Amino acid sequence: MFCGRSSRCSDDNRKGSVPVFLNVYDLTPINGYTYWVGLGVYHSGVQVHNVEYAFGAHEYPTTGIFEGVPTKCDGFTFRKSILIGKTNLGPGEVRKVMEDLAPEYKGNAYNLITKNCNHFCNAACLKLTSNPIPSWVNRLARIGFLCTSSSTTFSNSTSTSTSTSSSSSSPATSTTGVHQVRGRSRTRTRRRAFPPCSPLISSPPSIS
């Protein structure tokens, strides 16, 4: 097929030939009502080359990115697929993109407000298509982040004023900096977890 304009051909090539979809799932039946006002609690995955990539939580310091069957993520109700854009990357190159994202998206770093499945999908879609995911998919997380930031700022200012006013009456601390209670230190040794051996785990983690 020939293009009438060379610029149009170059635009089509730049957009790519392989579609990249965002598969959106409902986490709660309430989404049936809140969806229409641009809110809701959603899980999402990126579908490319008939593979769905998503991100979830586990207790190990290894990647939380996993592969699955498109639109069939266990534990969630599929809502819709959204075409984000297209890519020219092959299956191996797409997997390399996911492996590059793996160190940033570790299972034990999962956070509903600051690093959830939708944050991962947005990062993956930007790398594959240069297009972000729709804002409504992760809107509640952004609202939660703003509320958390405001609360933290208020809490810090309150604790600073309180500590200043009560410093003269507070008991002296030990030179080691560890508060002693009945001869025991409050410091505890954290048990080290054993990570999975696979760089990209094949089954979904417990939380997404």
The residues carrying an active-site annotation are 43, 117
The token duo for 104 is 């940033």
**36 and 79 in contact (C-beta within 8 Å)?**
no
C-beta neighbour count of 104 within 10 angstroms: 14
Residue 18 token pair: 């392989």
Q: Quick check: helix, strand or coil at residue 169?
A: coil
DSSP 57: B
Q: Which amino acid is at 10?
A: S
Helix (H, G, I), strand (E, B) or coil at 35: helix
Distance CA 140, CA 39 (A): 7
Question: CA-CA distance, 43 to 80, in Å (whole number)?
Answer: 11
Neighbours of 79 (CB within 10 A): 19
- Dist. CA 194–CA 62, nearest whole Å: 10
Let me know: does 137 contact 88? Beta carbons within 8 Å: no
